[in-house]
């Protein structure tokens, strides 16, 4: 990626970098360095480490001040929903971060895996770290609030910060006074690549089936499908 591509991204987020190489490094995955040992910049893991800490502080401060009526446990859940890899990946996709990444040939081809999701989420944190180092805390805070917190009111109003299983359980208990149950229906595949199918039941009635590479993932997927089916 040429420097003008990095400048393109800097312009997109409306930040003038004193050292554009800091932003460029935020896009460098370690797999690229393994294939290109002579590359003049390092990978982005140190920037990711820093950005993670900045994001944690900004989100904690933001939520503490915005929702002064909410207890610590609820604030913790809201914060987790904003800074987890799934949410960061959604934000990163809106910013089209993938087209700026430095990846190995193997990682470049693997576009739809969980590993790619983590790479993209980690890159978001590295970008925050780069902004903080180059432009200071105030600009890093502004970036985070503009892109990562933009849907916070919807998340809180609709209680999207609760995990799908908790959301489904709360609605089932509220409407039916019944706690939903999960039952393993199918297990297949070799040990290194298992696949599980789990049924979600309310009062012995099968609501949905969820599939995943672990029982927990299958249960979460069943709950997601159950929320959609029930329009909850």
- Specify burial of residue 108 (Cβ count, 10 A radius: 0-12, 13-18, 19+): middle
Query: Which of 48, 125, 134, 219 is the catalytic position?
Result: 125
Catalytic residue selected from 52, 74, 108, 110: 52
Alpha-carbon span 130 to 151, nearest angstrom: 24
Specify the residue for token string 């790479």: 119
Q: How far apart are CA 80 and CA 73, in angstroms?
A: 11
Our answer to whether residue 191 is catalytic in this structure is: no
Q: How far is CA 161 from CA 53, 74, 166, in A?
A: 20, 9, 10
Catalytic annotation present for 125: yes
Q: Do the bridges between strand 195-202 and strand 205-212 make them parallel or antiparallel, or are there none, so unpaired?
A: antiparallel
**Residues with catalytic function:** 52, 125
């Amino acid at each position: 990626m040429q420097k003008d591509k990095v400048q393109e991204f800097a312009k997109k987020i409306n930040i003038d970098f004193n050292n554009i190489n800091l932003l460029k490094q935020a896009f460098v995955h370690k797999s690229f360095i393994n294939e290109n040992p002579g590359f003049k910049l390092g990978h982005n893991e140190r920037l990711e480490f820093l950005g993670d800490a900045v994001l944690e502080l900004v989100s904690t401060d933001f939520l503490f001040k915005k929702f002064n009526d909410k207890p610590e446990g609820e604030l913790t859940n809201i914060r987790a929903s904003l800074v987890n890899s799934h949410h960061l990946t959604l934000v990163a996709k809106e910013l089209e971060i993938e087209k700026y990444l430095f990846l190995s040939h193997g990682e470049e081809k693997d576009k739809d895996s969980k590993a790619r999701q983590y790479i993209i989420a980690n890159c978001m944190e590295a970008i925050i770290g780069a902004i903080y180092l180059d432009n200071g805390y105030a600009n890093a805070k502004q970036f985070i609030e503009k892109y990562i917190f933009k849907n916070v009111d919807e998340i809180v109003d609709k209680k999207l910060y609760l995990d799908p299983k908790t959301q489904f359980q709360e609605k089932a208990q509220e409407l039916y006074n019944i706690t939903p149950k999960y039952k393993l229906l199918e297990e297949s595949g070799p040990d290194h690549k298992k696949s599980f199918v789990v049924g979600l039941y309310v009062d012995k009635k099968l609501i949905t089936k969820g599939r995943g590479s672990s029982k927990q993932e299958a249960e979460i997927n069943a709950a997601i499908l159950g929320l959609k089916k029930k329009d909850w």
